[in-house]
Amino acid sequence: MRIDILTLFPDMFTGILSQSIVKKALDRNLLEVGLHDIRQYSTDKHHRVDDYPFGGGAGMVMMIEPIARCIEALKAQRNYDAILFMAPDGKTFDQHKANALSLKENIMILCGHYKGVDERVRELFITEEISMGDFVLSGGEIAAMAIVDAVARVIPGVLNDETSALSDSFQDGLLSAPVYTRPADYQGHKVPDVLLSGNDRLIAEWKLEQQFERTRQRRPDLLEE
């Protein structure tokens, strides 16, 4: 799949694209990521992309014209299954959305900044608005990075053990069970005996019980859903 990201700060993505799972997805040609500097689509000699809001108020607003030129230029090259805008008033991102996006061929992500983008951008171009939660970031870049990472790890072939992603928290509506590794006894704190038993049925039952109990204690809202 391909993800095109529209941003004022493309250099912010250097780290995530050069490390860990996302780098593996890129190296295996299972994912393409295009970074597009919105400033390059400004006709202003200083590459200005923001202006004061009509009606007054604090902060600056990203103008529609540079964003529209960038979007239209990309749409002329390929068809997009979704054009996402990272916004605090969007629908909260979750594992189900990550799974759904991983099945798309081409998606575009617009990262806002300042006080936001001209509302006409959202009305004319955006197909889905996504939030990371009830808080505000300085821009959409960090949120876009989270989407890239969450989507990349569930693309078939990215992880060496594909069952690893399927056992992540939220994949089945539950939190993951506790996990342990060596040593089996750390200063008297021991790994549960069942995990050392070699009995696959008992281990599976224990893990499921732990998933329900951890979800009940920490995220009862998931059980209600």
The answer for residues whose C-beta is within 8 angstroms of residue 143's C-beta and 6 or more apart is 86, 93, 111, 130, 131, 132, 137
C-alpha 57 chain-centroid distance: 31
The answer for residues whose C-beta is within 8 angstroms of residue 162's C-beta and 6 or more apart is 156
pLDDT the model gives residue 162: 58
- What number is the average pLDDT over the span 32-46? 95
Domains of the chain, by residue range, sit at 2-152, 172-224
β partners of residue 82: 107
The answer for residues whose C-beta is within 8 angstroms of residue 15's C-beta and 6 or more apart is none
| Residue 164 pLDDT exceeds 60 | no
pLDDT the model gives residue 197: 97
pLDDT category, 95, cuts 50, 70, 90? very high
pLDDT the model gives residue 124: 98
pLDDT the model gives residue 173: 84
- What number is the average pLDDT over the span 33-53? 95
| Residue 172 pLDDT exceeds 90 | no
pLDDT the model gives residue 171: 73
| Residue 82 pLDDT exceeds 80 | yes
- CATH of region 172-224: 1.10.1270.20
Q: Which amino acid is at 59?
A: G
pLDDT category, 224, cuts 50, 70, 90? confident
pLDDT category, 166, cuts 50, 70, 90? low
- What number is the average pLDDT over the span 14-34? 96
Class of domain 2-152: alpha beta
